[in-house]
Amino acid sequence: MNSEPRQLRILITGGGTGGHVFPAIAIADALKRMRPDTEFLFVGANGKMEMERVPKAGYPIEGLNVAGFQRGVSLSSIRRNLSFPIKLFGSSLKARRIIKSFQPDVVVGTGGYASGPVMRSAQNAGIPTLIQEQNSYAGVTNKILGKKATLICVAYDGMSDYFPADKIVFTGNPVRTDILQLEGKRAEALVYYGLDAAKKTIVVIGGSLGARSLNMALRKQHDLLFKRGDVQVLWQCGGFYEYEYGACDTAKLPQVHLRGFIDRMDLLYAAADVVISRAGALSISELCLVGKPAILVPSPNVAEDHQTKNALSLFEKGAARLVRDADAIDKMLPEALMVLENEALAFSLSESIRQLGRPNAANAIAGEVLRIVEELKN
């Protein structure tokens, strides 16, 4: 009798931003370590970053011609919304074909445009689904999908307001494995990014796509930085904004180092004395693990204003400072300088945010996927 477990087939869907893509890859990596024979298929949205990042990580991916509904009232938003039902219908048809062809044991959704039609198609086909909800406030699509989901893995308390309590498992958010061990990397980080070991370092992270408000705040604070020769800034502005802001006076200061995209996040964090960041789920999860004092500037241009809710959950615990997006130009950089100058505050922020880290989140979610598979056998 053959007692070898049969090859698993796991479909993972999600993308659009790094906050959806990198957790999806981290879950796949954890599953691969636990069950090396697992066959994977990713499904993302054509034209989005997952179509490049997932193959680079070594996994196959299919793309859907899907886009999100635009909440604005501009003419371009109205035009794009006219094609939304057509794209959604076509993506749903393709998702059903992919599900039927691949026949996954479990479908894991990490959010993003493609996740909705794929997860819905899997649920309609009777295939177990696991939602990885990264934020402290669940979006409309995940709340609908949660009713039929097998399990929902969350990173914040109070998620029973959005999902059935008996389906919720607190796992935390999975992150890139390279940031889990920063000890001994500071010297390498300073060399890699061309930084001065004698200066304190402010790291500014606009997310994988960049953040206009953070970029504008740094451009406007040229005079303040010019006077602070003891401080240097490593500024991740986003590839879309690199040409525009790379020509500004602030970027030309010798202590300012502007990058469009960061390819070594571990070294970025290792170099940082304080971090200014958006409040996306992935960014917050990484900050909790690296334990750096953080200034959070949540984006107001996201569904249900979930970044503000994410940031408040840390601010209320004394684990981060909070600057509203509308106040970023005047307050963002002064707040970071204040933290640098107040060692007691910096230490308190660092210790408080570190307590919220979940370094084994990817393994925990992978374990839940395997538990679902085992329960199907019984």
Confidence grade of residue 140 (pLDDT, cut at 50, 70, 90) = confident
pLDDT of residue 85: 60
pLDDT of residue 1: 44
pLDDT digits (tens, 9 = 90+) for 229-279: 899 999 999 888 998 999 999 999 999 999 998 889 999 999 999 999 999
pLDDT digits (tens, 9 = 90+) for 343-360: 999 999 999 999 998 889
pLDDT of residue 66: 72
Q: Is the pLDDT of residue 73 over 60?
A: no
Residue with tokens 């691949």: 102
pLDDT digits (tens, 9 = 90+) for 6-48: 689 999 998 887 788 989 999 999 999 999 999 999 999 998 8
Q: Per the CATH hierarchy, to which homologous superfamily does domain 9-173+359-377 belong? A: Glycogen Phosphorylase B; (3.40.50.2000)
- Token readout for 267 is 């070294």
Mean pLDDT of 273-302: 93
Element (H, E) at 109: strand 106-111
CA 18 centroid distance within chain: 5
pLDDT of residue 84: 53
Q: What's the rounded Cα separation, in Å, for the pair 359 and 344? A: 25
Please report the DSSP string for 293-360 in residue order.
-EEE---SSSGGGHHHHHHHHHHTTTSSEE--GGGHHHHHHHHHHHHHH-HHHHHHHHHHHHTT--TT
Helix (H/G/I), strand (E/B), else coil: 203: strand
Q: Residue 181: what are its φ and ψ, rounded to 5°?
A: -130, 95
Q: What's the rounded Cα separation, in Å, for the pair 269 and 287? A: 9
Q: Is the pLDDT of residue 282 over 90?
A: no
Q: Is the pLDDT of residue 361 over 50?
A: yes
Mean pLDDT of 57-71: 78
- Token readout for 75 is 């003419």
Q: Is the pLDDT of residue 74 over 90?
A: no
The answer to whether the CB of 204 falls within 8 A of the CB of 218 is yes
Please report the DSSP string for 32-97 in residue order.
HHH-TT-EEEEEEETTSTHHHHHHHTT--EEEE---PPP---SHHHHHHHHTHHHHHHHHHHHHHH
- Token readout for 365 is 């979610």
What percentage of the chain exceeds 90 in pLDDT?
68
Mean pLDDT of 56-72: 78
Q: Where are the domains of the chain?
A: 9-173+359-377, 178-354
Name the residue with higher pLDDT: 288 or 17: 288
Number of H helices, E strands in the chain: 16, 13
Domains 9-173+359-377 and 178-354 share a fold: yes
Q: What is the mean pLDDT of the chain?
A: 89
pLDDT of residue 69: 47
Q: What is the CA radius of gyration of the chain?
A: 21
Q: What is the CATH number of domain 178-354?
A: 3.40.50.2000
pLDDT of residue 303: 72
pLDDT digits (tens, 9 = 90+) for 203-240: 999 876 789 999 999 999 999 999 998 999 999 998 88
pLDDT of residue 3: 52
Task: Kindly state the DSSP code that residue 184 receives in the 8-state scheme.
Answer: T
Closest CA to 357 of 227, 87, 171: 171
pTM (2 d.p.): 0.81
